Amino acid sequence: MTEYNGLGEVSGKRVLVRSDLNVPLDGTTITDDGRIRASVPTIKALADAGARVVVVAHLGRPKGEPDPSYSLAPVAERLGDLLGAPVAFASDTVGASAKETVAALADGQVALLENVRFNTGETSKDDAARGAFADELASLADAFVSDGFGVVHRKQASVYDVAQRLPHAMGALVGAEIDVLRRLTVEPARPYVVVLGGSKVSDKLGVIDNLLGKADKLLIGGGMVFTFLKADGHEVGKSLLEEDQLDTVRSYQARAKEIGVEILLPTDIVVADSFGDEASARVVPATAIPADALGLDIGPDSGAAFAAALADARTVFWNGPMGVFEQPAFAEGTRAVAAALTEVDGLSVVGGGDSAAAVRTLGFDEAAFGHISTGGGASLEYLEGKELPGITVLEENR
């Protein structure tokens, strides 16, 4: 088999693959390689078909110029381990090293270019600047495969503009992500339960607005819950609060009541006097948070209630941890939700970002979930009903 997903014969061709390899690093040590592992199948399929695979990706948010702390060199090494073959690494993206590295590839070999965001053209808002950089990227390849789901909501050179310049195809990872998201938005199996956490209500406004008409229940945890509790007139102490979102939250609550969608809030909260590893945790009623306390997780009763609300669900989407899961004292709410998702008789989707990191950090078997997304922001924008430029460009330029 020397063809790939509508591109035709790829053997001997240089195929530029936009992957999402934006992994967390501690110095040069990768602390979670989930996104790299998720990128391997498409890269391997192309290499096995005889393509000369040129992978382009970003890491972090450098300021459009080289920054050693954001180098993809450790990722190249890990990618090679997972592929079982060395991955050539170019020390730039479109310069002399990239050109020499690509030119030296034999059929079936893989190269990774240095961080694409070391170049100002990648994220430029100016179409001409972005296009000029896309021209340089496109000159390195004969075809393009879009497989970085975590960036398809970005109108960036390596995501959007390159697809206008080369024969292109959707990678297996992006295809799988879109298929799952369609199942969440088009006639989902019911009951359909959405679990939202994370720090801010403002990050989830569009999702709440769009899913109020689709989901049967919304379970609210994480830092965003304190804005909901405050909207109901309760003291939230020193907990994270978005005062400017109180009226919006009240409008959502009124709308949910009107259309029969249940919004379930925690009944107890794990609080501490301060944030840190030495914090002394205690459980208080959600309606009686002390004025000097900081809420850092949902409590055990809430964890049990959320698990019960998920027990009969046939479709679940979860985005955002229930608390500061990185610290054991504030991880149990997130653990309770994750464990409940593994028991869902239907489709359970972990919506990327911190939720995916939590699943791995807390030691869950990833195979126990229906789908773990590699792109939290892209998932949320899709569920908001927004257009994803990196998907639209593939569909419009066939």
Binding residues for (2R)-3-phosphoglycerate, by number, are: 35, 117, 154
Q: Which of 158, 143, 183 lies closest to 14 in space, CA to CA?
A: 143
Three-state secondary structure call for residue 110: strand
CB-CB contact of 88 with 112 (8 Å)? yes
What residue type is 23 in one-letter code?
A: V
Catalytic entry in 35, 130, 238, 335: 35
Catalytic entry in 37, 78, 99, 200: 200
Q: Does the N-terminal peptide bond of residue 389 adopt cis geometry, omega within 30 degrees of 0?
A: no
Distance CA(156)–CA(57), nearest Å, equals 12
Indicate if 125 belongs to the active site: no
Catalytic entry in 50, 353, 375, 390: 353
Q: Which residues participate in the annotated binding site for substrate? A: 20-22, 35, 58-61, 117, 154
CB-CB contact of 394 with 214 (8 Å)? no
How many CB atoms lie under 10 A from the CB of residue 117?
Answer: 23
Q: Which residues are CB-neighbours of 67 under 8 A, at least 6 positions away?
A: 115, 118
Contacts 24+ apart (CB under 8 A), 205-210: 205/245, 205/248, 206/380, 206/381, 206/384, 206/385, 206/386, 207/319, 207/380, 207/383, 207/384, 208/252, 209/252, 209/384, 210/383, 210/384, 210/385
Q: H or E element: which one contains 251?
A: helix 246-259
Indicate if 377 belongs to the active site: yes
Indicate if 200 belongs to the active site: yes
DSSP conformation letters of 138-204: HTT-SEEEE--GGGTTS--IIIIIGGGTS-EEE-HHHHHHHHHHHHHHSS--SSEEEEE-SS-SGGG
Catalytic entry in 50, 197, 377, 390: 377
Distance CA(228)–CA(232), nearest Å, equals 6
Q: Which residues participate in the annotated binding site for ATP? A: 204, 295, 326, 352-355
Distance CA(270)–CA(302), nearest Å, equals 10
Distance CA(330)–CA(277), nearest Å, equals 10
Distance CA(9)–CA(52), nearest Å, equals 12
Distance CA(247)–CA(268), nearest Å, equals 23
Q: Which residues participate in the annotated binding site? A: 20-22, 35, 58-61, 117, 154, 204, 295, 326, 352-355
Just list the catalytic residues: 35, 200, 353, 377
